[in-house]
Structure 1
Amino acid sequence: MKKKIITSICLCGLTLTLFTGATDVSATDFDQMIQRKNNEIHQLRTQRQTVQQRITDLTNEIAAINQEAQGLLAEQEALYTVIDQLAEDIAELQVRIDKRAANIEEQARETQVNGKSDQLLHVVLDADSISDFVGRLHAMTTIVRANNQLITQQKLDREDLARKQSASKDKVAVLHATQSRLEAQKGEIEGKQADLNVEVSTLAYQESSKEDEKQQLKAEKEVFEAEQARIREEAAQAAARQAQIEAAQAEQETSLAVVDVVDPTVEEDRDAAGADRDRPADTPEAVQPAAPADTPPVDAPEGAPAAPAAPTPTPEPVVQRPAAPTPAPALAANGSAIVAEAYKHIGKPYVWGGKGPDAFDCSGFTRYVYLQVTGRDIGGWTVPQESAGRVISVGEAQAGDLLFWGSAGSTHHVAIALGGGQYIHAPRPGQTISVGSTSNWAPSFAVRVH
């Protein structure tokens, strides 16, 4: 009997030790994991300062690019002013040269047809007097001098025209180079802005993820600790019950020991009683009463449902068939839709860097139109738009195709072809979206967007 009591006490103590040990280790593990998340979050917040500095640097770079772009736009505007003035001067010179050339040509024709080459001889021979001769000679000299001045001025004007045309050509080349730099800067700004967005979103996502993981660990720890508290409470209650049993047994043994001292024969009776108590009782097994064999089955009443229905068969899984791909719209249909969308914006102002819908620059306009019609982003400046499709000649261009000015890789302008030698574009600062003609400004190449 004493051995059983000692064994029970040992088992109870071992059980409590196991519960307590498992609780301590697991709680410590949760605390360590939460601490690791705290450390990771702290590291991310430390990195935030570095990232924030990077964001500040990128913002400053974008501001510097925009400032340089404003300078280039001012330079471009000055070039446009010079080019426009040169164009006016060239047109005026051309008018004067053309008129003067017509007069000279007319005089030459009259001289050839009417034989006016001997006019000086007639002046001399037909003079009535010396004074008449001098007057006629002076008039002829004045005419000859005027003709010579006319020819000289014609030569000077032609030389001036050639200089102005050359200067205009040089200015246009500088203008195109400036426009190409502006387009490249738009691409640089887009790249910097994308880097900036990635830095910000990555940092926010990492911090949010780590914070979520930390909160998840805390929730799991709370659930675990609640469960362990329940287990400890049950173990304590079991230990208390065990202690009560042991106290009762101890009290009983003490009482028996007192009886042994008074009457030694009681020990023999106690041992016999203990032997009888330790012997397992012959307990008859519980027998379930059987139903009488001759009990007739109970018929279901008429109209009542018959035997239980068979189980509902499991429905066969529905196989999702992939939808047939929608055929791409024909080129003509796409081209018509692109042209229709482009015409909606006629008269809207040119603003460098404008992406719509109220103001555009050249590549912002083409990008917006294609995005609205096709849902495709063809790029935010001219160079990536060059790669949006297949390069074709200007003669092959149809309505909706892209027209480019400049060399591939450094284009400075883009428009949407309308067909019939016309295009629609955002021309330059101070102007609005309008229709132009390839006869006045010929593109370099075209691209048919896939």
Structure 2
Amino acid sequence: MKKNTISTLLAITLLAGTSFTAFAEPLTDAQKQEMHYNKQKLDEVNSKINTLTDKIEVLDAQIEPLVKNIQENDKNIEDIKADIVLVQKDIDKVKENFEKKQQAFGERMRAIYKSGGNESYISILFSSTSISDLINKVQAVGKVMKIDKQVISDIENQKKVLDNKKQELQDKKDEINKINEKNKVEMKKLNKLKAEQQVEVDRLKEEKKKVTVNLADSEKTLIEYPISIIKKDTSSISELRNAIEMLTAARESITTDEIDNQAKEYIEKAKDIIASKQQSSSSNVTAGSESTGVSLNRGTYSGNVSSIIAYAYQFRGRPYVSGGKGPNVFDCSGFTSYVYRNAAGIEIGGWTGEQLRTGRSVSYSELQPGDLVFTNGGGHVGIYVGGGQMIHAPRTGDVVKVGPIYHYSSARRVIG
């Protein structure tokens, strides 16, 4: 989780006053570890789901052409079956024609030879009126027999051609069937792998639900306080704006949809409440006093601290320049001095050495947002914002930002 988000969230907890100081305590190591573990676990589960999903997509890409080929082959097989039926009909017609021709030929042969071949030829011989007539009759009989034989031969050839065509179609159908069977075996294998991986994806999704619930519980603590401010009828416009800022910052690192949707919902509610309060506010409350986020009651602990934190956050991203006192550039002590002076009207001194003597000393375990935090043996200073974080101007080449306390040395409480 982004640490500056945690800082923003915990800093805002002082907006409601001292009765909520428990919320301002730094996150315990256990809380940090739990949140880190849940986010890490969710990332791992998501990574596994994505990896398996990618594999399933690869399998889908391999299955798709197989399905297409099987469908095309099935269509081809049906077309071939239809062709075989047509060829068979042609074969049946040729066969029928062959049988008719063969029968006619047989009848003629029987007519010629019904009294024996010799008698038939003798009959033709004696019935002839001349040698020429005899020759013509013999030739005519021979010609008829030759034609009949040729017709039968042609029909037999047609049948052979059709039989061959039918066999070719059958062979082609058998070949396509073999390819289809092979494709179906491969597709079954791929679908099995896909199903196995889908089972694992489903298991991981269930695990993700559990991890998400745990993470939502962890992330819920980050928005509970600003939501309580928004729910509180007595919250001022500046407090509501600070709550909006905190929820907006939290959304940058919130992972779960449930908590993010809650944050969005209450941001919109806060905006509606602010609009309503502005409409009904008395004429002596200027828009400027509210828009700066500075509480009108600077004598209260909550008002001053919330003003300091909200004001300090306006300068995030401003560059560090040695000796910079603001508002466009800062060094570490120049930043803390500028914020305290303009947000709370308190002079804490312009140098780290002076600030080390302001207020009263507090231990790390006693830290509350708004405290001055000194690091590197007292050579660097920032403003504590909660959650073990501080807002500060770190070093040359860097900018005002929220970050973890490092090389802790001491702390001073200026307010409270």
TM-score category by the smaller chain?
0.3 to 0.5
TM-score by length of 1: 0.37
Larger radius of gyration: 1
TM-score by length of 2: 0.40
More helix per residue:
2
